[in-house]
Chains A and B, each alone.
Chain A
Amino acid sequence: MDFAHYMPLWGEGLLTLMAVLIVLLGSLMKDSGKLMGYLSLGGIVAALALVASNLTAKPALFFFDTISVDAFSQFFKAVFLIVSMLVVIASLSKYTGKGADEYYALLLLATVGMMVVSSSIDIVTLFVGFELASLSTYAMAAFDKTKKNLEAAMKYFIFGSVASALMLFGFSLFYGMTGSTRLADIAAASLADFGPATVVALLFVIVGFAFKMALVPFHMWAPDTYEGAPTLVSALLAAGSKKMGFAAAFRVLLVALVALRLDWYIAFAVLAAVTMTLGNLAACWQDNVRRILAYSSVAQAGYISIGLVVVGAAYGSSPVNVFNMGMWPADQLGIAGALLLILGHALMKTGAFIGSAQVAGMVSGSGQNDPDDISNYAGLAKRAPITAFCMLIFMFALAGIPPTAGYIGKFVLFSSAIYSGLAWLAIIAILNSALSLVYYLRIISYMYLKDPAGPKMPERRGYVAALAITTLAVVWIGVFPDGFIEWAGQAAAVLLP
């Protein structure tokens, strides 16, 4: 076997081997949690380095044309690996005792699953990757074994399974119609000939994806799960596995089902507008910080869906002069904007959840009923200044205040909506950004304006390291966005003819 030929996939292989190794070592050694953490960190960094060395790869196909390594997959792999890396860095301060080996092994496998999804150009491979990531995260959601964890994991499991089932059913119908599981073959077949069956299949696929991406009205599981799961796992769910839903949706809808775009793009336009509005409104009434973050995540999913709508509206349109970048097709700009927001949101959300984990970890000993209640954030600026400052940056970035990653993502994405004649959607999105400031400011005002709820607290080192890296990245992307826009544009071009 020619190993060098598979070099672009070494990362997945390495992480899988690492996961097996960690489980083996864990059963042989006692109290090796810290070591396992560092092992996984090493594996993830190596995989990330591999991806980084080959960011804008020419498409290369593997395994009988089911796996494609291209700029699009590399973009998502970078996002997933960065999120996993941050979660592992933070976890080094929490999961060190008994059973930690399983945690790290599951985390690595979940990452591998996400990476496979981002590379899949075949619906069966895609589904397998999807399930690998999902099953691993179901177990992680219950990892601390508290009552809340179990409830969250159960909800996540049931909704996730239903979503998978719906998606699989839709896939099977498409397979029946076209006789192939390859996305390119499905795209080549004339699906419209099958009449109502196409619409039914499309509906199943859309609902399945909408569950995974937590679009309204299929979002109910997200706040409960993000609130109940261990906080670091919530970070992985909101920033990693949810983005996997987008990777899958982009591949399937934009490559295989693009001929049906007139059927799905209106649906996504409505879903996007409703999702961002309801997500932001719901977030205003929450008192639990993790629920606020969860609903903000729902709203962000609404923004990101604009990318799909733009492609539907402007697919194959002739290039226009965008910004100062020369001629770009509007649909490519739409996906590029969505990818930028995915990157930015993955960073901001991971950071925000790690920040809330820091707070919950610090106050949980003090007999509070709900460690995530917003009252625990009172005077955080004095109790835990570094955490509070990083959270401040994340809140402003999530609200889209320049110059941050959140701002650049929204700017490119909303601009693409304008270029493709969807100014109404852009205006709804911008007004929503203003609305979102209400609840982000609420967290800020608790952290900085209220009197401290207790004495100064020690900040865990692993968490601080993860927060600092994330903050730097969020600001860096905002101040020097040029390279990132170009990168996202190349990734977007992969999906379009």
Chain B
Amino acid sequence: MISNAISLMIAVPLLGAVVSFFAGTKAKFVALIASLIPLVLSLQMYMEFDKTSKIMQFVESYDWVPSLGVKYTVGVDGIGFPLVLLSTIVSILVIIYSWGETNRPNQYFGLLLLNEVGVLGVFSSLDFFLFYIFWEVVLIPMYFLIGSWGGPRKDYAAIKFFIYTHVASLVMLLSIFAMYFTYETPEGGRTFDMLTLLAATADKTIFPTGLLNIIFAGLLFGFLVKMPAFPFHTWLPDAHVEAPTAGSVVLAALLLKMGGYGLFRIIMPILPSVDKVFVPILAIIAVLSIVYGAFLALAQKDIKKLVAYSSVSHMGFVTLGAVAFTWMSVTGAMFQQFSHGIITCVLFMSAGTIQHVAGTRIIAELGGLADRMPKFAVLMMAGFMASLGLPGMSGFVGEFMILTGSYATLPAYTMIVVLLSVATTAAYHLWAMQKTMFGPILKKYVNVHDPHAYELFSMAMIIVLSLIFGLQPGLITDMMGTAATQVMEPVMTLSQMGVI
């Protein structure tokens, strides 16, 4: 048993980031080591993780600012740990994928490591103050990644990303403060302790429904913007299109998961105590995100934008699964987070590689690339299949569980999703694949060739992971299932809540 595993996992990339800023062209080796250590630590934690336990594990707690009731408390359970694992996996693969970066590599890798620090902190903080700090820390490296290494409209995209998500965080912060100032500890003080505050929201004498509704709406807004869900998704395409490939990968695979994590960790424990109208609202937002996101993806000319909108659609499934409130759908939604985090990497890496070799991402201008880059085409094809939900790969498991689970409580919404999105999703994936990769090779692309081995390696690793978790989802759903049971303990079904 490693003591202080989580702190170590956060501290190593932080140290790595500082070293990497001063390491010049050697930064990539620093980054590789500094992201390998957290990966090893998280795998070790996976071995030791008690999948049947409902309490927080690997907890560390120290006083930080006693006068304000702020503690440094970290710990993970079945909600947080899969995302910690995802973060360490994605971070190292992104660093390997970016091995050839020559434009200020020291800052580039340093910022990627800082990003890892931020997301690991968010997924393991059990103190709202600490949580908020990590939540904000994530913004800064991403802002610089987009703004410094981005495309032509990088300034606009970076500022829009920062302001949009920062305003959402502030609204979330207001809700956190409302909880902080409402709840008094038995000793007569205040606390930012996440689990204490969340447990207290069930007490109507402390949090009357009216107040709790406002708090809930603020928190929800913060998370929905981050996910992003319709109609708060407009920052995402700009950020994605302008971000460098590694930035896009981290953004889609990890940053969006912060919103989903918020749903499970913070929104779901409060949901049973607030006004019932939030359930249909959330369900409508989920369905619109899934369907509208899919149709938007179908209409895109730029393959990266297509992938970006597919994220909106896929993250909509997470919302749907969470709000349907059955064990199956909640577990499925957690799995969908993990699975989308993995699969989206390969999609954005594909878009990045295409941009790199062909000089354009406009689907209509591409064609027949598979002829010259066969290895890449196989990996990209596998990624797209995983994304559209091919059985045997992880994408299928998540969506299947969510749809099966939510049919029990939200049949109408589920049917709309099935009718409108399944075919659309398959259509845009296949269409994009066919247009760019297959058919006769266009004359201007006769000189393109397979990308570097490190890029192929990263993509291949992801495909392997997607297959492993697609065929053997129990590796990670066991702990998610325990967490889902834990989340749903107070109210087992929506019918008990009086919604349907």
Q: CB-CB < 8 A to A445: which residues of B?
A: 147, 155, 158-159
A448 part of interface (Cβ distance < 8 Å): yes
Partner of B167, one of A402, A418, A434: A434
Expressed in whole angstroms, the Cα–Cα distance for A326 and B181 within the complex equals 14
Expressed in whole angstroms, the Cα–Cα distance for A97 and B133 within the complex equals 47
Expressed in whole angstroms, the Cα–Cα distance for A486 and B68 within the complex equals 11
B461-500, CB < 8 A from A: none
Partner of B147, one of A323, A324, A448, A486: A448
B440 part of interface (Cβ distance < 8 Å): no
A124 part of interface (Cβ distance < 8 Å): no
Q: CB-CB < 8 A to A480: which residues of B?
A: 65
Q: CB-CB < 8 A to A486: which residues of B?
A: 67
Main secondary structure of the interface of B (DSSP, over half): helix
B406-428 CB mask vs A (1 if < 8 Å, else 0) is: 00000000000000000000000
Q: B162 and A441: CB pair below 8 A?
A: yes
Q: CB-CB < 8 A to B184: which residues of A?
A: 321
How many chain A residues touch the partner (CB < 8 A)?
Answer: 31
Expressed in whole angstroms, the Cα–Cα distance for A486 and B66 within the complex equals 11
Expressed in whole angstroms, the Cα–Cα distance for A326 and B187 within the complex equals 9
Q: B167 and A482: CB pair below 8 A?
A: no
CB A324 to nearest CB in B, in angstroms, measures 4
Partner of B163, one of A326, A402, A403, A441: A441
Q: CB-CB < 8 A to B210: which residues of A?
A: none
Q: B136 and A482: CB pair below 8 A?
A: no
Q: Which of A441, A480, A486 has the most CB of B within 10 A?
A: A441
Q: B189 and A321: CB pair below 8 A?
A: yes
Which size bracket describes the interface of B in this complex?
20 to 34
A267 part of interface (Cβ distance < 8 Å): no
CB B114 to nearest CB in A, in angstroms, measures 13
B159-197 CB mask vs A (1 if < 8 Å, else 0) is: 100110011001001100100010011001111000000
Tell me the nearest residue of chain A to B150, going by C-beta.
A449
B49 part of interface (Cβ distance < 8 Å): no
A369-424, CB < 8 A from B: 396, 401-403, 411, 415, 418-419
Q: A482 and B65: CB pair below 8 A?
A: yes
B123-135 CB mask vs A (1 if < 8 Å, else 0) is: 0000001001100
Partner of B154, one of A322, A418, A441, A449: A449
B292 part of interface (Cβ distance < 8 Å): no
With contacts A321-B184, A324-B189 taken as known, whether A434 is within 8 angstroms of B148 at the C-beta atoms is no
Partner of A449, one of B67, B148, B191: B148
Expressed in whole angstroms, the Cα–Cα distance for A434 and B173 within the complex equals 12
The list of the 3 closest CB pairs from A to B, nearest first, reads A324-B69, A324-B189, A449-B147
Identify the A interface with B (CB < 8 A).
321-326, 396, 401-403, 411, 415, 418-419, 427, 430-431, 433-434, 437-438, 441-442, 445, 448-449, 480-482, 485-486
* A-B contact sample (18 more), CB < 8 A, given A445-B147, A485-B67: A321-B190, A323-B69, A323-B189, A324-B68, A324-B69, A324-B185, A324-B189, A326-B188, A326-B189, A401-B136, A402-B136, A403-B133, A434-B163, A437-B162, A437-B163, A445-B159, A449-B154, A449-B155
10 contacts between A and B (CB under 8 A): A321-B189, A324-B185, A402-B133, A415-B177, A430-B173, A437-B162, A445-B155, A449-B144, A485-B68, A486-B67
Identify the B interface with A (CB < 8 A).
65-69, 129, 132-133, 136, 140, 144, 147-148, 154-155, 158-159, 162-163, 166-167, 170, 173-174, 177, 181, 184-185, 188-191
